Amino acid sequence: MWGFMTTGTISFLKQLTKKHETIDFSFMKGGGATLVYYESEKKKSIFVSGRAYQILYDFRALERNGFVVMDHIPVVDDGKDIFESKVKEFLPTITRAYGIQTIRFFKPNKSDTYCIMTQWKSEDAYETFLQSSMHDFYEEATLARHSAYFAERPFTSTYYMLKEDE
């Protein structure tokens, strides 16, 4: 399974997705940007620009509302197998966290930056997770050998799901 996402203005993304009515798109808003995401069995994206990922782990379908957190983690080539193994082993633990709705673990198609997407019932549920011991283990599991290049550092982005009429 593959996951695809791109960003743009809401009007541009709505026009783009109208051409593909059979695809189930999820719209998210955060940091002044709108992101649209979809999953497919096909390796080729409908987006001209954007990010393409192989889904290595998934837990439940994406909900139409909630708070989405994307942890972007660059990993050097010789650390990828170990990183993937550690994360896939740990992620089932998070499924027991209060307020978790969805989890995706993405392997990048054309870069070294993996992405772990979690969807929570609310931002408060995510904040509760951050204060838990489970989060400490999550941080340990996602530790990876990072690139020496300063621009390639882990970062987190957050979004709120947009409803159809927004």
Task: Collapse the DSSP code of 5 into the 3-class scheme (helix H, G, I; strand E, B; otherwise coil) and give the result.
Answer: strand
Dump pLDDT digits (tens) for 81-130: 999 999 999 999 999 999 999 999 999 988 889 999 999 999 999 999 99
Tens of pLDDT along 31-56? 888 999 999 999 999 998 899 999 99
Q: What is the pTM of this model?
A: 0.91
Which pLDDT does position 100 carry in this prediction?
97
DSSP assignment letter at 68: E
Measuring CA to CA, which residue among 166, 162, 164, 165 is closest to residue 65? 162
Q: What is the pLDDT of residue 29?
A: 96
- Determine the pLDDT at residue 151: 47
- The pLDDT, as a whole number, for residue 70 is 97
Enumerate domains of the chain plus CATH numbers: 51-161 (3.30.70.100)
